Structures are given as C-alpha cells and as structure tokens.
Amino acid sequence: MNTEALFSALDRQRIETPSWGYGNSGTRFKTFAAPGAARDVYEKIEDAAEVHRLSGIAPSVALHIPWDAVSDYGELRAFAESRGVTLGAINPNVFQDDRYRLGSVTHPDPAVREQALAHLLACVEILRQTGSRDLSLWFADGTNYAGQDDLRARKRRLRDALARVHDALPDGARLLLEYKLFEPAFYATDAFDWGAALAHCVAVGERAQVLVDLGHHAPGVNIEQIVAFLLDEGRLGGFHFNARRYADDDLIVGTANPFELFCIYAELVSAETAADPLVRDTARAVAYMIDQSHNIEPKVEAMLQSVLNCQEAYAKALLIDRERLEEAQQAGDVLEAHRTLTDAFRTDVRPLLAEWRRARGLPEDPIRAHRVSGYAERVARERGVAAASGGFPVHS
Ligand code: AOS
Ligand code: ZN
Ligand code: ZN
Ligand code: ZN
C-alpha cells in the first residue's frame, strides 16, 4: 500500500471513547478519586473533545443512561457539537436497580421484565434525539447456581425483549448485542458468548449485530477468528476495545496483547476490501468503541493512549503485504505466510503516524502535547477532587 492510500485509510479511522472512562471508577475494592476527573456528562464530553483534539480520530463519545441522563438531549447534542464531537452509542443500564437482583429482561417476574424493557425503549427515544446510530446492549442477567432458574425460559425472555427493541429502532439505527462469559452472574450468563449473541441477532432482524468486547472471553479464545466469522456473516456490529490478562480487566487497549489487537485489525482491513459486498459493508460500518474504566491511571491520558494504540494496530494491519500473503497461503507455505503478518506487525509505524499527524496539523506526539498543554492541571484546579462516585459504580 502506498503512503497516499495508507494516509487516506488512516483519515477514515474513527474510535469512539466512553463517557464512563472519564469519571472516577474503580474496582470492587477501592475507587481512587482522581484530581480533575469529570463530574458530569458535560465534563466527560469536554475530556472526550480533548482526546479528539489531540488525536484527530476520536470524534464521538458513547453515553450511558442513566449515568449521563439529562432533561434535554438536543441541548446536550449541541453542547457536544460546540466542542467538536458528536454523541455516539447509547448504552442503557439495566443492572443497577434493586429489582434486577434476579435479572432484568430475563427476570422470572414479568413486571420486572417490563420495567427493563421500558428503559430500553426510552433509550431508543434518546437515540433519536441524540442522533446516535447504535444502541449498545449489555445485560448483567444470569444465574449463580444450577437450578436457580429455567435456562431455556431465560433465553426466550431475552429473545422477546431484543425483538421488541429491534422493532422500535428508527431507520438507520442498529442494536448491538454484547456478550460476556461471566460476571456478575457466575453460573450462567444469559448472553454468554458470540454464538448465542449471533443466534439472537439473526432471529430478531437485520439491524441486530454482535458487539465484541475484548475482555469478555475465556483465556486462549481466538478473538480474531470470532471477528472474521461475524464479519463474514454480516453480523459484526462493533467493538469494546480494552485489554485483559485475566477477565474483564478493562485496561488500556493494546497493552496486554498487542499482537492480538493487530490480528483483529488484520481481519477488519481484509474484510474492508472483500469481494462480497455484505462483508465489505459490514466491515465499513463497524463501530470502534473503547470500553475502559480506569482506576489508577490519569483518565484523559489513558484514553488518549488507547486511541493511539488502536491507530498503531490499524496502521500495521494496513501494511500487510496481501499479495505475498495470498501466494504463501495458496502454496501452503506456512511460515512465509506467518512471516508476512509478523513483518507488518514488527514495522515501527511511529514515524509514519507522526508524518500523518504533521500533515493534518495535529501534534506529532499527542501524549507529550497533552502533558505539556496544562489540561490535566487546569481541570484538576477547576473540578477539584470529586468524591469517588459517578462513572462506574462504586463497589464496597
Ligand atoms: C460490562 O462488562 C460491559 O463491558 C459493558 O459494556 C460496560 O462495561 C458497561 O455497560 C459500562 O458501561
Ligand atoms: Zn480475595
Ligand atoms: Zn463492554
Ligand atoms: Zn466488560
């Protein structure tokens, strides 16, 4: 790929950052209050705008309802636009009400299920007002013990809720179903893996697609193969990027396993130019989103680091010599094929990305630019150290 083609591919890259990554968040053990952490949705949007100003590729911010609920979404949308970003995916929250102890949309009591569904439908309405394309659904629903509830009945309850949400979506909107192996339910999670999520999406309609959160798999699972499979089925809707060593660690993407991130991008790059139009269109519509909740890291810098790590992985994937790869694959040359990938992976793309930024009037080194800008010191002064609440729930 020549530099021009590479640069225009980099121009098209978009990474969405999550509002909840800018507020104070923690682990089950302790939430450390960070000086200057965003206290409300407006400050979260300002931080997201700062990440975009420095990186040039993070133009939208995902919202979490009710953490980011406001009375006027039109006004919030205008506020975001005045800061140079747009409002992205809407993430409903059906896991923090006392009534959801046994589940939300899969709860045995139909009245609780209706309450959860009503919230999901209210979020569809919010999505209309914010002009967002995607409704990201993650359910904490599941059971802790064998026999606790009827597994097939729960599957049907989830299906029913998804169908109703799907049918309420406005034109052009999508439902992204996120799966997760375990936690907070430890025996059975209702949306437990990509296969279950895919089956639900296929059943409820064309505008339902699967969301892959990198932290939600068993160790050793080949995530890039899941990505390839879902792309090929036309059902990969988006990502929640993060890094994990154990489970849902939610750390800075690209820090624990950069080769895995590269291989995921390699599948996406290949699908973007696939012969099959369904695969191509699916790849081009993928929502690249970050899902992190920082505990000890400075928030804005951590988010910026994630965005840049994605860009680096993408640039390396663009460098894969596709012709050489295909030849080696056809010839059954196992190691030449593998080396074609690792040659791209080992390429230091930092000078190239610095050049791309220079040509676009962006800081060559966004992290350094952030550090010397005084942004962190200014918000620490203005916002102070908020009590460790907001963002991800405080566990005790
Ligand atoms: C939870 O484990 C999922 O990753 C969710 O996507 C997300 O972290 C949560 O909904 C916070 O917004
Ligand atoms: Zn312990
Ligand atoms: Zn997630
Ligand atoms: Zn998660």
From the CA atom positions of the chain, what is the Rg in Å?
21
What does CATH list as the number for 7-318?
A: 3.20.20.150
Query: Which residue ranges in the chain fall short of pLDDT 50?
Result: 390-391, 394-396
Distance between first and last Cα of the chain: 52
Separation between Cα atoms, residue 40 and residue 49, nearest integer Å = 14
Separation between Cα atoms, residue 31 and residue 57, nearest integer Å = 29
- Looking at ligand 1, which atom is closest to the CA of residue 95? 10
What is the interface pTM, i.e. ipTM, of the complex? 0.94
Residue type, 44: K
Q: By alpha-carbon position, which residue is closest to atom 6 of ligand 1?
A: 138
Decide: 248 in ligand 1 pocket, CB within 6 A: yes
- How do strand 142-143 and strand 134-137 relate by DSSP bridges? unpaired
Decide: 138 in ligand 1 pocket, CB within 6 A: yes
Query: Which tokens belong to 215?
Result: 């932290």
- How do strand 134-137 and strand 174-178 relate by DSSP bridges? parallel
| Domain-wise residue ranges, the chain | 7-318
Give residue 253 CA to ligand 3 midpoint distance, Å: 12
Q: By alpha-carbon position, which residue is closest to atom 9 of ligand 1?
A: 138
What pLDDT, on the 0 to 100 scale, is given for residue 1?
79
What pLDDT, on the 0 to 100 scale, is given for residue 225?
99
What pLDDT, on the 0 to 100 scale, is given for residue 388?
61
Q: By alpha-carbon position, which residue is closest to atom 5 of ligand 1?
A: 138
What pLDDT, on the 0 to 100 scale, is given for residue 394?
45
Which of 61, 90, 91 to probe ligand 1 with, by most ligand atoms within 8 A of CB? Answer: 91
What pLDDT, on the 0 to 100 scale, is given for residue 318?
98
Separation between Cα atoms, residue 372 and residue 253, nearest integer Å = 23
- Listing DSSP states for 220-233 in one string gives T--HHHHHHHHHHT
Separation between Cα atoms, residue 91 and residue 122, nearest integer Å = 11
What pLDDT, on the 0 to 100 scale, is given for residue 386?
81
Give the three-state DSSP class for 40: coil
Separation between Cα atoms, residue 56 and residue 175, nearest integer Å = 27
Q: What's the pTM value of the predicted model, to 2 decimals?
A: 0.96
- Listing DSSP states for 178-199 in one string gives E--SSSS-SSEESS-SHHHHHH
